[in-house]
Structure 1
Amino acid sequence: MRADVLLVERGLAPSRTAAQRLIAAGLVFAGKGNSRVALSKPSASVAEDSLLEVEASELDRFVSRGGLKLDGALTHVALDVAHWRCLDVGQSTGGFTDCLLQRGAAQVVGVDVGHDQLHPRMRADVRVTCIEGVNARELSMTALKDCVAAACRNPSIAASNTAASGSYSGDFLLGFDLIVADVSFISLTKVLPQWPALLSANGRVLSLVKPQFEVGADNLARGGIVRDVSLYAVVEATIRAACAHAGLRVLDYFDSPITGTDGNREFFVYAERA
């Protein structure tokens, strides 16, 4: 059986993607004693009765690798999110959400265009509200309020993959203290114009910037890697201009503490209402 498949079947990884990440990091071992060897490929054939071990690492701290990125970014900007109301745009598995909760956030409202991606542990946390099937370009406080309130009036809505799940707290209607974002297959410039209206008076934005979704397909090599490193400066200028146009003042723009899973260099933009 494939090593990544066996890891999931044994409950040692929540998904094949997570299993592949663990194997790539050299954290998965087969056998014991002198015969114990590190698995180097997710596709490696492993006997179904083999002893498998996964060593503890930083990768285990959050439900996805994204948590490590945000954790490093929050440390970089010295931001304390304890007791804050946060919005997670592009919530997906919930790595950013997990990081915020571990740092003491009071509430995290997450939105994603997809369905059924949020890790069960995050979905079960009473501080988390998950709103699915929502296009980030159409975010508004009214839309968020309606989705969350509808789900709480009728729990079956959440189960139907159409709206939200989680507990309802109207506190976020006062505005979010922090908006974090990790969006793919769309330019950040299409999403961030909605954010100032969702922030509290002193609210902040801390968003991942993925150049591969900003430079256009013609500027990508095989595997989606940005061909020309000089384009990183172009992307930064574009993001700064988009923030200014939307009414956000950029406080910092810096490298993500870890690269994307595809090897692309990524960045964070940190901003406040202008």
Structure 2
Amino acid sequence: MTRLDQLLVERKLANSRTHAKKLIEAGRVMLSGGGPLQPARKAAQTVPEDSALEVTPLPEDQYVSRAGLKLAAILDQTGLNPIGWHILDVGCSTGGFSDCLLQRGAESVVGVDVGRDQLAQKLKEDARMHLFEGVNARHLQASQITPFADRGFDAIVMDVSFISQTLILPQLPALLKPSGQLLTLVKPQFEVGQEGIGKGGLVRGSQYYPQVRERIIGLCEELGLEVKKYIDSPIKGGDGNREFLLWATPRPL
């Protein structure tokens, strides 16, 4: 006999015991010790090691992180199709954005992140993924990611935390093709300053959201970018904060 959550991990039906618990609590695990499949009751229940298991993935399991669902939302709303694109992922972290783009047919993704050892193993093993760690995007230059930046990027995506994206945006237009696309996840909790943050790291009130929107759109315009869409993310941040998705393109000369 063994714990159900441990058995799910051993059979690679869950990434961790925490993930297994989420699957079970969501009613996504069917179990049989010999009879018909029945919904599993709890993670800690003990079951025979040869139990039959059937798992229905959670929606967020489609990508290596929830971020992939956020990017998918704006790709779907805009009708943008990354097939064959050469893309820069700023703040790639675990790789949710990169995973979404590669699953949708991107030719290659160049990921940059100030941190190290965060990218999901699945993406490390993907020949289309090129990772540059320990790179502060605030000072990002093409020379730091050669030869991948030499031909310009069809799209740049960005999802950064603990820094205002207004400090990074000025570096991006020079890396983008004239026909390129910019897609960013706007996190107001990192844009409003300490005075706008309340208990639990949540933005104090909805009055801050238009301020963030105006500031970021205004900067994009100063940088020669035309903002096409600015929409609510369908998924809140892990801390419960409301987030937004921006789509912009270089303004025609």
Do the aligned partners of 2:153 and 2:180 also contact (CA within 8 Å) in 1?
Answer: yes
Q: Does 1:218 pair with 2:195? A: yes
Residue 82 of structure 1 corresponds to which residue in structure 2? Answer: 83
Unmatched tracts of structure 2, length 5 or more: none
Structure 1 residue 75: deviation in Å? Answer: 0.7
1:19-30 equivalences under 5 Å are 22=23, 26-27=26-27, 29=29
Residue 205 of structure 2 corresponds to which residue in structure 1? Answer: 228
Matching residue within 174, 180, 183 for 1:206: 183
The number of residues matched between the two structures is 245
CA-to-partner distance for each residue in 1:211-239, whole Å, 9 max, x for gaps? 11111233223222212012111110111
CA-to-partner distance for each residue in 1:124-161, whole Å, 9 max, x for gaps? 1111101111111111111111xxxxxxxxxxxxxxxx
Unmatched tracts of structure 1, length 5 or more: 146-169
Distance 2:169 2:24 in 1: 35
Do the aligned partners of 2:64 and 2:95 also contact (CA within 8 Å) in 1?
Answer: yes
Distance 2:39 2:141 in 1: 54
Structure 1 residue 4: deviation in Å? Answer: 7.3
Residue 232 of structure 2 corresponds to which residue in structure 1? Answer: 255
The residue type equivalent to 1:185 in the other structure is: F
Residue 139 of structure 2 corresponds to which residue in structure 1? Answer: 138
TM-score by length of 1: 0.78
Structure 1 residue 48: deviation in Å? Answer: 8.5
1:231-246 equivalences under 5 Å are 231-246=208-223
CA-to-partner distance for each residue in 1:19-54, whole Å, 9 max, x for gaps? 576567x15548656974455xxxx75558787764
Distance 2:13 2:241 in 1: 27
Structure 1 residue 194: deviation in Å? Answer: 0.4
Do the aligned partners of 1:62 and 1:68 also contact (CA within 8 Å) in 2?
Answer: yes
CA-to-partner distance for each residue in 1:75-96, whole Å, 9 max, x for gaps? 1111111111100011111111
Say which SS state the counterpart of residue 126 (structure 1) adopts.
coil
Distance 1:86 1:193 in 2: 17
Distance 2:5 2:223 in 1: 44
Q: Does 1:184 pair with 2:161? A: yes
Do the aligned partners of 2:110 and 2:148 also contact (CA within 8 Å) in 1?
Answer: no
Structure 1 residue 273: deviation in Å? Answer: 1.6
**Identical amino acids, percent of aligned pairs:** 49
Residue 64 of structure 2 corresponds to which residue in structure 1? Answer: 63
The residue type equivalent to 2:113 in the other structure is: D
Structure 1 residue 10: deviation in Å? Answer: 5.7
How large is the Cα RMSD of the aligned pairs?
2.7
Structure 1 residue 105: deviation in Å? Answer: 0.7
The residue type equivalent to 2:214 in the other structure is: A
Say which SS state the counterpart of residue 257 (structure 1) adopts.
coil
Q: Which has the higher helix share?
A: 1
Matching residue within 239, 245, 248 for 1:268: 245
Say which SS state the counterpart of residue 150 (structure 2) adopts.
helix
Choose 1 or 2 for highest CA Rg: 2
Which moves more between the two structures, 232-241 or 219-228?
A: 219-228
